[in-house]
């Protein structure tokens, strides 16, 4: 009976030692590996988030530039339309000019 108890104790110590060695191996080898994997996943996630923020910034800037270009084009077209109009005839210009503040005499002309 004593031999059986001693064998069970030895077997238990061996199993316990194997478990401890396995845990030690996991801590030494696997934890740094998973830490590197976790850091890589975090860095990729952060990079994708920054890329999305940059893309949104570019989209806003492109929209702002497009609106500015449209406004600039409308101003140019309006200016060209104004230039294409015929100049007013001298009778029309004189009709809108205000009368001088003094009475006109033959000397004023």
Contacts of 100 (CB under 8 A, 6+ apart): 108
User: In angstroms, rounded to a whole number, what is the distance separating the alpha carbons of residues 17 and 22?
Assistant: 8
Q: What are phi and psi of 52, to 5 degrees?
A: -65, -40
State pLDDT tens for residues 29-40.
888 899 999 999
Residue 105 has pLDDT above 70, yes or no: no
**3-state SS record for 9-40:** HHHHHHHHHHHHHHHHHHHHHHHHHHHHHHHH
Percent of the chain with pLDDT over 90: 57
Asked if residues 80 and 74 have their Cβ atoms less than 8 Å apart, the reply is: no
Banded pLDDT at 19 (limits 50, 70, 90): very high
Q: What is residue 17's predicted lDDT score, i.e. its pLDDT?
A: 96
Percent of the chain with pLDDT over 70: 79
Residue 85 has pLDDT above 70, yes or no: yes
Whole-structure pTM value: 0.47
Q: What is residue 1's predicted lDDT score, i.e. its pLDDT?
A: 83
């Amino acid at each position: 009976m004593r031999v059986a108890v001693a064998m069970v104790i030895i077997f238990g110590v061996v199993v316990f030692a194997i478990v401890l060695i396995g845990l030690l191996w996991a801590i030494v080898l696997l934890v740094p590996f998973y830490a590197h994997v976790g850091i890589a996943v975090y860095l990729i996630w952060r990079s994708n988030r920054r890329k999305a923020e940059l893309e949104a910034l570019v989209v806003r800037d492109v929209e702002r530039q497009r609106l500015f270009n449209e406004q600039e084009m409308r101003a140019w077209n309006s200016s060209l339309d104004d230039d294409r109009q015929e100049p007013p005839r001298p009778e029309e210009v004189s009709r809108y000019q205000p009368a001088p503040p003094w009475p006109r005499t033959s000397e004023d002309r």
